[in-house]
Structure 1
Amino acid sequence: MAISNIDEKEIKETKETKGTKGTKYTLGRITKINSQLIEIKFQKSHAPKIGALVFTKPLGSKFSVFFEVARSDNDGTVFAFALSSIVGIKIGDIVKTDGKGIRVPAGKETLGRVINLYGKPYDFASGEDIINAKTYLEIFDAPDTDVDFDESSIDILETGIKAIDLLLPIPRGGKVGLIGGAGVGKTVVTQELINSFVAQHDGLSIFTGIGERTREGHELVSEARDLGIFNKTAFIFSQMNEVPGARFRVPFSGVRLAEYFRDEYKKDVLLFVDNIYRFVQAGMEISSLLQRIPSEVGYQPTLFSEMGSFQERICKNKNGSITSVQAVYVPADDLTDPSVVASFTHFDSIVVLDRAIAAEGIYPAINHLDSTSDFLSARTVGDKHYKVASDVMGILEKYRQLQDIIIISGLDGLTEADRETYETARRIRNFMSQPFFVSERFSGKKGIYVTIEQTVESFGRIVTGELNYIPEGMFLYKGHVSEVIEEFERTSNKIGEIIEKDDSKKAKKDKKKEKKKNKKASGEK
């Protein structure tokens, strides 16, 4: 077959191209296959540009195999990495392209659906194998919008999570990194944020799963249904078993859909990414396929530019905002790893989850001394909030310093003032814990949403030390400080009743003994 431009009428229509009447395709031929990378020969004048989507349908297969052009030579040869399984393709197969990039469906049709990076559903609702959306968008065709840089209009997003709202405020339209190793609670915090945003702020959420396990994705979707937020959330996944190209491009599908809801629906959108580290990993694999010389620790030389091309699209404009929460896996708990550093530079708030705090049974296991927020200032959160937050941070910092003395000398080695600070810090740390709505079925504790006003008021009382008479264990998993006081009073009353009952029994027993003794003495006389 000659390699040339042909009209759609001359080729067999496929499910992927159905409905694109009048589309013209350029044909090429596969000349080399190297793992997930293929070499394709086009006519020199018709070679597609970098970023174009090409596809072929293996003989006997129901589904097409997709590739993205990553490099081209002057003679019409292009190199493309796979976006789906390459099973069935062979040298000599014909590929097609219309010159456009990856497209994702957009609009209300995607809400309450679970799809892959180019819109193929995983959930197969109603039995269909495509999303019948009116609008399809190229994932790299970012809209031209004016970013809102007006500092006077900074709006802090209330999450309902005390440990975040007090010390790590999140700006509407900002980016937040959830940093932590495996098993410290990144996904649970992410799920709780989705719940609070949809339930309390009437927003829309886009969950982008990069390299997710099937079990994790299934649990997330199931919990979203149970919490009643499923129909206000679009789920875009590239699973762990999929090719690196799919994991490398799925975050761009997520952000493009978020841009559409922000600009066309005039909505505030919460974009979740779990896990951004797997995006970096996929880029490293693609870079290796393209034989690029690696940089430090084996990462791709284009790491920072790739990260920037995604992060810079998350912003606020006159239409609405995209606020992003991104889980970041930390290899070997090393915060200096290049993949972690590349993410750090873009975050407005960094929430570090600590394994040692999790081991103490305090969830969310946030290490506030290692975490930061660019928006914790009197100008953005108010004087009262900032003062309470500063007092809390000062006490927690002093608590860290006192740990060394306690290890050597014990509590007896502390001065009276230091002991008071230590006791206050223990209560602050415990009060940072909170029951989540998404973990009710596992913890048995009803989830609590705490407003910023309630949070500031509660910690404002704790930092004074006025509540140090209450055992520190009673501060665990409470919402407002009034709950702590009520439990203490309730427990104290019960203890008082028990003591009173015991005293009454003892008095009766003593009286009986005395009577018996007097009777005996009377008989002897």
Structure 2
Amino acid sequence: MDPLTIRLNTTFLRSRVPNLTVAAKNAGLRPATVSNLCTGKIPLGRAEIRTIVLLAKLANCSVDDLIIIEDYSKKIETGIKTIDLFAPLVLNSTVGLIARPDMGQLALLAEVFHRLKNNSFKTITLTPKQEDPGLKDLLHESDYIAAGFEEIAVLLSDEWKNKNILLVVDRAHVISGELGDFNQNLQLKEVLSLTTFLMDLSGEAPDEDLPFGPLDTIWQFDAELVAQKYYPAIHPLFSISESYPLDKKQNRLQQDARKTLRRYRELRALYAIRGYEKMSKKEKNDFTRGQKLEAYLTQPFFIAEPYTGQKGCFVKIVALFNDINKILTEDLAELEASSLLYKGDLDTVV
């Protein structure tokens, strides 16, 4: 598949023009051509501009609404629901993890390494300047544990040339300026991609405005989720990715999910004061929907299987956004929030 692909937004088009074949013919288009564009037999890039313009006119929308741009050179699907929804991972980006100790940042990094290292990625951890018991799983999932940046530079220019690299660096190496010097001297042409994760073992990052400097993605951890033992404890409101290519539907669902969880957090305070019965019907509905969404975003990890006895799960992005849409728009009265805890997609919920 090409790194950059454009395709027709067939679902949107058919929803706007139900009897598409007849409408296309009446507009002067060949039905076979429109059908082949919808099925992908004719690449959108080969379509005449006149055809796309007429289809947009039939759908009463802009040409941009009919075109989906998929940048496969950037997307990294982790299968971790809360990441792929709120702060997705992008090739060649820098990700900052903002967390206090024991909030699960090391477990999350180890899980990301576990999921991606057999998917054409090589994983490296630069030995932190301080020790932490939680490093065990991360180091176990690392293909290489480097003592310094010099080792990494040699590795990338020799044995791992032309590889996709995932690198974990502690904040202490950022403050010292070592990471900046490494990035400045690195010849990126030596690797296919270098995606860097910046962690903080000191726990000071949440107290700083820019603890790591400029970032492409922020994974901020949430004390409320940790207190409830809801993992991964990624904050749904403050974890963001600036450069991830979401299509319009996914972007809308992401924003609606944030609004739902923001409102749920407000209602929890009212619930504690007034009780559930004194809430209005709309408040009850908003509360229940947010409660289910928050529970759904928990997930069992593969690396935790020996400790929890529960199998890890990978949730595909398509299933994730379909589930989010169901939780936000359908009643799902038969599902209790507790039944969604530490499950995969909704199809796995009994």
Report if aligned partners of 2:146, 2:152 keep a CA contact under 8 Å in 1: no
Three-state SS of the structure 1 residue aligned to 2:257 is helix
Report if aligned partners of 2:132, 2:201 keep a CA contact under 8 Å in 1: no
Which residue is 2:193 aligned to? 321
Which residue is 1:429 aligned to? 294
Report if aligned partners of 2:174, 2:180 keep a CA contact under 8 Å in 1: no
Of residues 163, 174, 178 in structure 1, which corresponds to 2:97? 178
> What is the root-mean-square deviation in Å for CA atoms of aligned residues?
2.8
Which structure is richer in relative contact order (CA contacts within 8 A, separation 6 or more)?
2
Q: C-alpha displacement at 1:313, in angstroms?
A: 6.6
Larger Rg: 1
TM-aligned CA distance change 1:388 to 1:257, over 3 Å: farther
TM-aligned CA distance change 1:155 to 1:173, over 3 Å: same
- 2: CA distance, partners of 1:306 / 1:211: 12
Of residues 203, 206, 228 in structure 2, which corresponds to 1:335? 206
TM-aligned CA distance change 1:153 to 1:475, over 3 Å: closer
2:150 counterpart letter in structure 1: S
- 2: CA distance, partners of 1:439 / 1:181: 20
Three-state SS of the structure 1 residue aligned to 2:200 is strand
Which residue is 1:168 aligned to? 87
Matched pairs, number? 281
Which residue is 2:223 aligned to? 355
TM-aligned CA distance change 1:456 to 1:361, over 3 Å: same
Which residue is 2:181 aligned to? 309
Deviations 1:244-281 (A, max 9, x none): xxxxxx3x33652564269x6311111122x32x3357
1:451 corresponds to 2:316: yes
TM-aligned CA distance change 1:448 to 1:258, over 3 Å: farther
Of residues 449, 452, 460 in structure 1, which corresponds to 2:325? 460
Identical residues among aligned pairs (%): 23
Of residues 183, 198, 211 in structure 1, which corresponds to 2:129? 211
Report if aligned partners of 2:219, 2:234 keep a CA contact under 8 Å in 1: yes
- 2: CA distance, partners of 1:317 / 1:418: 54
Q: C-alpha displacement at 1:374, in angstroms?
A: 0.5
Runs (5+) with no aligned partner, structure 1: 1-150, 225-229, 238-249, 284-304, 488-525
Report if aligned partners of 1:307, 1:342 keep a CA contact under 8 Å in 2: no
Q: C-alpha displacement at 1:445, in angstroms?
A: 0.6
Three-state SS of the structure 2 residue aligned to 1:235 is strand
Q: How does 1:403-418 map to 2 (within 5 A)?
A: 403-418=268-283
Q: How does 1:3-14 map to 2 (within 5 A)?
A: none
Q: C-alpha displacement at 1:429, in angstroms?
A: 0.7
Q: C-alpha displacement at 1:317, in angstroms?
A: 5.2
Q: C-alpha displacement at 1:316, in angstroms?
A: 6.2
TM-aligned CA distance change 1:311 to 1:443, over 3 Å: farther
Q: C-alpha displacement at 1:406, in angstroms?
A: 2.1
Three-state SS of the structure 2 residue aligned to 1:192 is helix
Deviations 1:201-251 (A, max 9, x none): 221111112135375555544x44xxxxx6xx11124xxxxxxxxxxxx3x
Q: C-alpha displacement at 1:394, in angstroms?
A: 1.1
- 2: CA distance, partners of 1:360 / 1:314: 42
Q: How does 1:203-242 map to 2 (within 5 A)?
A: 203-213=121-131, 216=134, 218-221=136-139, 223-224=140-141, 233-237=143-147
Report if aligned partners of 1:435, 1:477 keep a CA contact under 8 Å in 2: yes
Of residues 471, 477, 486 in structure 1, which corresponds to 2:342? 477
- 1: CA distance, partners of 2:260 / 2:187: 34
Q: C-alpha displacement at 1:163, in angstroms?
A: 0.7
Runs (5+) with no aligned partner, structure 2: 1-69
TM-aligned CA distance change 1:444 to 1:253, over 3 Å: farther
Of residues 259, 270, 285 in structure 1, which corresponds to 2:166? 270
TM-aligned CA distance change 1:457 to 1:414, over 3 Å: same
Of residues 225, 246, 257 in structure 2, which corresponds to 1:392? 257
Report if aligned partners of 1:437, 1:447 keep a CA contact under 8 Å in 2: yes
- Whose strand fraction is larger, Structure 1's or Structure 2's? 1
1:272 counterpart letter in structure 2: V
1:417 counterpart letter in structure 2: K
Q: How does 1:123-202 map to 2 (within 5 A)?
A: 155-199=74-118, 201-202=119-120
Three-state SS of the structure 2 residue aligned to 1:365 is coil
TM-aligned CA distance change 1:265 to 1:255, over 3 Å: closer
1:169 counterpart letter in structure 2: P
- 2: CA distance, partners of 1:315 / 1:171: 19
Q: C-alpha displacement at 1:408, in angstroms?
A: 2.3
